[in-house]
Copies of this chain bind each other. A is one copy, B any other.
Amino acid sequence: MGYSLKNCVFIDLPQRFCSNQGREHHTGIFISIERRDGLTVASIESTVISMQQMKVACENCSLHQLCLPLHLDHDAMAALDSIIKRRRPLQRGENLFQSCDKFSSIYAIRSGSLKTFSTTNDGQEQVTGFHLPGELIGLDAITTEEHNCTARALETTSVCEIPFNRLQDLGMQIPGLQRQLLRIMSREILEDQNMMIWLAKKSAEERLASLLLRISKQFSTRSFSAHEFNLSMSRTDIANYLGLAVETVSRLFTRFQVEGLLNVDRKHVVINDLDGMHRMAHSDPDCTQHEKNRLS
């Protein structure tokens, strides 16, 4: 396993390392070195510097093509930047927002990962998604003006908070921003519908294979390895998300391993046979019909 500096990313200083815990815009810089698979293997705390010096701006953010893919000029970018609140990172298990919280902002994930889940009235949880850097979450709360699910950090996670009202105001000024928002929400609808298809039609092995392929693809679009990564979520979360029992997920992992498709050691996954996984999934959930037509 090789370590590479190209995967060195800048994230906010976790609160426990932070000298001024009280302030919302805390200062400090925390450099973490990530392995190709996204696991943080080392982290260095720098001299504490001011937020201004740090310049964690959308303009410099390697993810802005993912979260709001727009060609904005310097001024528009600065305007967008000015409304974004950067909060202290969440610890594993902390909630970004909870079901029934008043809706005021949407959030762009900068580093780490979260799960979103809602609770049915008979008390059971249903995981509705796993979210990686570059994704926007909280969009489902716009209608109700209250959050309908809880977002919980799966590891140390840092997000940009984007106040929705101010974003709306900005949308009247920056051409294309509104449309981009609609586009992102449209994509989310599409993804949820794809998810409905799996849940209604796919067998357990197809579901797990599809999920692993999707994670693999997400890592590779973020220029990590598509073959080797660490799952940040537990077996229980995976099972819940896929509508299966934990035991089934466990058995499937070992079966995939026996069949030589992958190696798995707890959270660490190495996919040996991507083609075989595709055959196992029997359909790529992220490859839409029109993409397929284009390819063929």
Give the B-binding residues of A (Cβ under 8 A).
99-100, 118-122, 124, 126, 128, 139-144, 146, 148-149, 168, 171-172, 178-179, 181-190, 192-193, 195-197, 199-201, 240-243, 282-284, 287-290, 292-293
Contacts and interface: CB of A to CB of B under 8 A. Distances in A.
A196 B189 CA distance: 12
Given A128-B196, A183-B142, A243-B201, A282 B122 contact: yes
Number of copies: 2
**Secondary structure class of chain A's binding surface, majority of residues:** helix
A181 B118 CA distance: 24
A289 B148 contact: yes
Contacts of A199: 196, 199-200, 243
Given A172-B172, A199-B243, A243-B201, A190 B148 contact: yes
Given A121-B287, A144-B288, A196-B196, 13 more contacts: A120-B201, A122-B282, A140-B186, A140-B189, A142-B186, A143-B184, A143-B186, A146-B290, A148-B193, A148-B289, A181-B182, A182-B182, A185-B189
B149 A193 contact: yes
A130 to B, nearest CB: 13
A45 to B, nearest CB: 39
Nearest to A244: B200
Nearest to A100: B290
Contacts of A168: 178-179
B289 A121 contact: yes
